[in-house]
Amino acid sequence: MKKAKKEDKPLILYFFTNYCPYCLAMDQDVLADRDIRTFLKNKAVYLRINADKRNDLTKFYSVRGYPTTSFLEPSGHRIIQIPGYIEKQDFRKVLAYATGKHYKTIGLMDFLKK
């Protein structure tokens, strides 16, 4: 949270478990993409959270299934939380929505329709 505030970047929390097939697919199909990895490294503060090891954070962020990706403002205020697997092209759009601060003027669904 401190780093997100200092760098004025959104915080992206990716909750996963080792036994979840959708988490594995998200890791392989989406998060392993070089452009997405570079984007996350440069435009956000990205944290992978193993839900089995950090049950406290899982409860705090009301995570009920895996994977779940939470997008937070640098202050920690939730922008959006998306449960489940996110297709690569949709993940890129949500990243643009969060990092471009479009959530301040338009809802996610309207943004995705653009």
**Number of structural domains the chain divides into:** 1
Q: Which domain holds residue 53?
A: 2-113
Look up the CATH number of the domain holding residue 78. 3.40.30.10
How far apart (Å, rounded) are the C-alpha atoms in residues 16 and 80? 17
Run means of pLDDT, 10 residues per run, the chain, 114 residues: 90 96 97 96 96 95 96 94 96 94 92 86
Question: In this predicted structure, what is the pLDDT of residue 1?
Answer: 83
Question: In this predicted structure, what is the pLDDT of residue 90?
Answer: 94
Cα–Cα–Cα angle for 102, 44, 60, rounded to 5 degrees: 90
Spatial strand order of the sheet with 78-83 comes to 45-50, 11-16, 68-72, 78-83
